[in-house]
Amino acid sequence: MWRRRGPAAPARPLRSLLRRGARAWDGAAGRRRGPVGPTLGGVANRDIIVIGASAGGVEVLLDLAEELPAGLPASLFVVIHLPAGGASVMPELLSRRGPLPASHPVHGEAIAPARIYVAPPDAHLMVRRGSVGVVRGPKENGHRPAVDPLFRTASWAYGPRVIGVVLSGHQDCGTAGMMSVKARRGLAVVQDPSTAAAPEMPESVLRRVPVDHVVHPLELPGLLVRLSAEAVVEPEERGAPAGDIEVLEGARAGSPVELVCPACQGVLTEARPGEFEHFRCHVGHTFSLEALVREQSEEVERALWAAVRSLEESAALSRRLASRTADEDLRRRFLEKGATQLGQAGVIRKVLLEGASEFDEAARAGAEQPGAGNGSAS
């Protein structure tokens, strides 16, 4: 059951609000239902809704689909973090739950209103002017599909017509993308973290982006209907946003840092819009600071397991050599070497299996030995 914080919402029936929002759009002078894509410099509505979710977000999306009207004057684009090898039944679930048809789009598919486009597994969902992009590009924050490329490309293509929505999820995917949305006068909406099963994604956006609406899931459908009916004027030309956002999006090179990309070992550059630290390699892998720490921790773990394997194999070779030599002194040295390597492998294995505490204790014990840390020889 959703928890509500603060005063209760007005007791007007939700479906009545949704129908009223749809009628308001139908009666708006000079506008009609049809393919998305009025010319630049014209008047349009906020008809591009991009949604990012992870853990705990599926339930919110299903409830949203159930309450949206069939004639919604907007297109919805959804990214949910998925494992690369899995299959997704999300379009079928959304289509069964509400009146809007949902699908995994194909690359280049034309955008139509009152439809839900869901990112397929292991591909980024992107928005172009009038069409959808489905691209197996570099992972962002360790994810593909990722929320940031959806938000970023939607803001490039449609500027102030975009409504960005971040729902429940772990970590901070979606924060950089929401910065792009706001830089081009789009709207930022986040799920109230107190109602989220995993509040980290909405909390990260709230800390770093000027959010327009913090909403309870029950109020999200009515809010999106109302916002999608608002008229906005598109600029005649796409102006460049602030320099920090250009660096964040990769349009300009950031500042080099003394780190390498954990995915491809390429050089990383840094963008720092406000207090948000964001890293990009020349291939296009991107990381927030939290994502970079997580990815590098996994790389360190892989390296340590490789060290365990290498040491254990070397110890096995030493034992094999010891069994084949007639020289007693040489045999003893091979056995000692093998025992030392097994001991080293055991220390690393223990660190990996039991955490860093054992390693910290060993380091402290070494530091307490006479002469440790002062450069004196034993």
> What CA–CA distance (Å, rounded) separates 146 from 137?
10
Mean pLDDT of the chain: 85
Q: What is the pTM of this model?
A: 0.75
Residues 125/105, Cβ–Cβ less than 8 Å:
yes
Domain coverage including residue 325 = 291-368
Across 19-47, b (16+ Cβ under 10 Å) vs e yields eebbeebeeeeebeeeebbbeeeeebbbb
56 in the same domain as 200: yes
Contact 45, 25 (CB under 8 A): yes
Task: Specify whether 187 is located in the same domain as 257.
Answer: no
158 lies in the same domain as 186: yes
- On whether residue 374 sits in a domain, the answer given is no
313 in the same domain as 181: no
223 lies in the same domain as 267: no
In a domain, 2, yes or no: no
What mean pLDDT is predicted for residues 324-344? 92
In a domain, 5, yes or no: no
User: 120 and 265 share a domain?
Assistant: no
Confidence of residue 374 (pLDDT cuts 50, 70, 90): very low
* Residue from 174, 211, 1 nearest 80 by CA: 174
Same domain, 152 and 274: no
Q: What is the CATH number of the domain that holds 229?
A: 3.40.50.180
Q: Are residues 210 and 171 in the same domain?
A: yes
> Is 167 within the bounds of a domain?
yes
Per the domain annotation, does 334 fall within a domain?
yes
**Can you tell me the distance from the alpha carbon of 81 to that of 77, in angstroms, rounded to the nearest whole number?**
13
Together in a domain, 211 and 74: yes
106 and 180 together in one domain: yes
How many domains is the chain partitioned into structurally? 3
Instruction: Decide which of 269, 284, 299 is a domain's last residue.
Output: 284
Give the pLDDT mean for 97-117: 97
Which band of pLDDT confidence, cut at 50, 70 and 90, is reported for residue 353? confident
pLDDT 10s digits, 137-183: 999 999 999 999 999 999 999 999 999 999 999 999 999 999 999 99
**Residue 261 and residue 154 share a domain:** no
Q: Look at residue 12 and tell me if it is in a domain.
A: no
Residue 4 inside a domain? The answer is no
| pLDDT of 114 strictly over 70 | yes
In a domain, 51, yes or no: yes
Task: Report, as an integer, the average pLDDT of 193-200.
Answer: 97
CA angle 19, 24, 27 (to 5 degrees): 125
Q: Using pLDDT thresholds of 50, 70 and 90, give the confidence band for residue 303.
A: confident
Q: What are the tens digits of pLDDT across the range 204-233? A: 999 999 999 999 999 999 999 999 999 998
- Domain identity same for 52 and 198: yes
